[in-house]
Structure 1
Amino acid sequence: MKKFQAVIHFTMDDSFMNLIPSHRTYINYLINKKIVDSYAVSMESRTVWITINAESKTEADKYLAKSPLYRYWSYHIEELVVYDGQLFRLPTVQYN
């Protein structure tokens, strides 16, 4: 399984706000299925970053296309070679 980073720029209107609950339900589903590793949103730049586990860019794109917010997005997907962070480290041993 490969990892991909989707960088999404979005626009908003009144309908967009109504779709957020169903979009979050879909993202939570993908997180629970371990398809999405991380999901971050900046309202300042209207950008979303999603790390996706998939076999190919095409498969990652298919996951994105199922979002209720898809029509508000322009994005690109990049394959990641390294994906690391605190969550992937062993816990620090603490002596009593």
Structure 2
Amino acid sequence: MADGETIARERIERLESLAREAVAADEEDRARSYVRRARRVAERHRLRLPRSFERSTCDACDTYLRYGYNARSRTQSGHVVVTCDCGAQSRYPYE
């Protein structure tokens, strides 16, 4: 792995933690900017976002999801359905 990729992965992890902290402090706009910045870094370096980051953000509005606060999670026939306040839904399989 090249040095640039390592630095980019570290930056994405740091932005994820900052977004989590911002949502906990009720600063949703700041959290949204961290999510957008992390996605941009991943695109620039052609990296995939970590699974935990992908599943805790809304693809439609770039919000960092906090279950019970701005997102709802339900199970439905072998899938977890996550619904954001904006109305967008994500589905993930589980066993």
TM above 0.5: no
Q: Which has the larger radius of gyration?
A: 1
Q: Structure 2-normalised TM-score?
A: 0.29
Greater relative contact order (CA < 8 Å, ≥ 6 in sequence): 1
Which one has the bigger helix percentage? Answer: 2
